[in-house]
Amino acid sequence: MSDHPSYEIFIADPVPQDVIELVPNGDERMFSPLSITLVSGDRDAVLVDPPMTIAQTAAVGDWVESTGKNLTHIFVTHGHGDHWFGSAELAKRFGAEVVNTARTIEHMHANLAVREFFWDALFPGQIPATEVVATEVSNNAIELEGHTLKVIEVGHTDTDDTSVLHAPSLDLVVAGDVIYNGVHQFLREAQGDGINAWLRAIDTVASLHPRLIVAGHKNKVLDDDARRTIRETREYLTTAAAVLAERTTALDFFNAMLQRFPTRLNPGALWGGATALYA
Ligand SMILES: [Zn+2]
């Protein structure tokens, strides 16, 4: 058993979307920053949530190579393409296995089915030719030099059927989009019971009592403090639910949330959610 597992994060900076209209606050439409996590033992490593574009995938591959670790597994927390389109390429480059839950695999196929209309429209020519090469993770666990990384299914968060990776020996949860850190949360799929379901998922993460959380979308100047990120992710959702109940238009909702959370990155993500919630 390796004594000192560790983790590092690669932040893929925001890339512009091919959308002409500006966000109501005047911003250009951008995609949120992406967090790609490498959990390493002495020799081996596990990569969580590979990025989206050809350029990001190449940069993450070079970063993994520079660590000198042997990449054994790639784990994907949920089916949104920004968390896995680069997985087949990286699996091939390092001879690694892509593993995740059966539900995530279904969701990956669904994202692949809309890539032309959704992902390629937002990022023309930038999304890699890809396929789903993932297999179902056995026993919801990935072994890393004698340390068990546990896959925990948490249900609906910013989309359906999401999961997190818990590394007890590191006091760490790699949380995908269950927890956000200084970035506007994606509420496009929050209709109906969406916000309550997301809050329940956060309770599940909190019950693991991690000290550290890597959020799938984080502001790179912020730390990975679990208590703060859990509190702030909850606060954003409960505020969104209250504002939804009192505001009648997408623009009013957007302005109220922006005023309440002025330092979060990417108001464009907030606007994307607002337009869907008031559609
Ligand atoms: Zn997502």
How far lies 254's CA from each of 76, 153, 199, 262, in Å? Answer: 30, 31, 21, 11
Tokens of 77: 């927390």
Tokens of 159: 């989309």
Instruction: Give the Å distance between the CA of 220 and the centre of ligand 1.
Output: 18
Instruction: Give the Å distance between the CA of 43 and the centre of ligand 1.
Output: 30
Instruction: Give the Å distance between the CA of 11 and the centre of ligand 1.
Output: 15
Tokens of 169: 């020996």
Instruction: Give the Å distance between the CA of 177 and the centre of ligand 1.
Output: 5
Instruction: Give the Å distance between the CA of 121 and the centre of ligand 1.
Output: 18
Instruction: Give the Å distance between the CA of 86 and the centre of ligand 1.
Output: 15
C-alpha–C-alpha distance, residues 211 and 37, integer Å: 16
Q: What is the pLDDT along the chain (279 residues), one digit of tens a residue?
A: 666 799 999 999 999 999 999 999 999 999 999 999 999 999 999 999 999 999 999 999 999 999 999 999 999 999 999 999 999 999 999 999 999 999 999 999 999 999 999 999 999 999 999 999 999 999 999 999 999 999 999 999 999 999 999 999 999 999 999 999 999 999 999 998 999 999 999 999 999 999 999 999 999 999 999 999 999 999 999 999 999 999 999 999 999 999 999 999 999 999 999 999 999
Instruction: Give the Å distance between the CA of 146 and the centre of ligand 1.
Output: 30
Could you give all domains of the chain from N- to C-terminal order, each with its CATH number?
Answer: 6-277 (3.60.15.10)
Instruction: Give the Å distance between the CA of 246 and the centre of ligand 1.
Output: 27
Instruction: Give the Å distance between the CA of 259 and the centre of ligand 1.
Output: 24
